[in-house]
Amino acid sequence: MWRWDESSLVESHFLLLLVFSCFVSVVFAALLRDELREQLRLGVLMFGALVGAALVVGWLMYPFPL
């Protein structure tokens, strides 16, 4: 049975980041490109950039807790 703990909280936040990035990249790819191949390319690139940037910025903020 699933139990609440701190690690599952972090995982769910990361999952939400992935879901959010997925939606944003899908919409932007469909909006900015017309060919399916180009849409896939831009979508994957944007998804990676969003997730990667969030992780990098997150680690950069790690030494500076509020």
Partner 1 sequence: MSERHVHYTVRVSATRAAVDRPTQILVCLAAWAVPGAGHLWLRRPKGVVFLVALPLMFAIGIGLEGRMFPFDLSQPLVALAAAADLGVGIPYFVARGLGLGAGRVVASTYEYGNAFIIVAGLLNLLVVIDAFDVAMGRK
For residues 3 and 55, give the distance between their C-alpha atoms in angstroms, rounded to a whole number.
26
In the bound state with partner 1, the residue whose beta carbon lies nearer, of 26 and 51, is 26
Burial group, residue 29, by CB count within 10 angstroms (0-12, 13-18, 19+): buried
Give least dist CB 26 to partner 1, A.
Answer: 6
Distance from chain centroid for Cα 30? 17
Give least dist CB 14 to partner 1, A.
Answer: 11
| Interaction residues for partner 1, span 13-42 (CB under 8 A) | 13, 16, 19-20, 23-24, 26-28, 30-31, 34
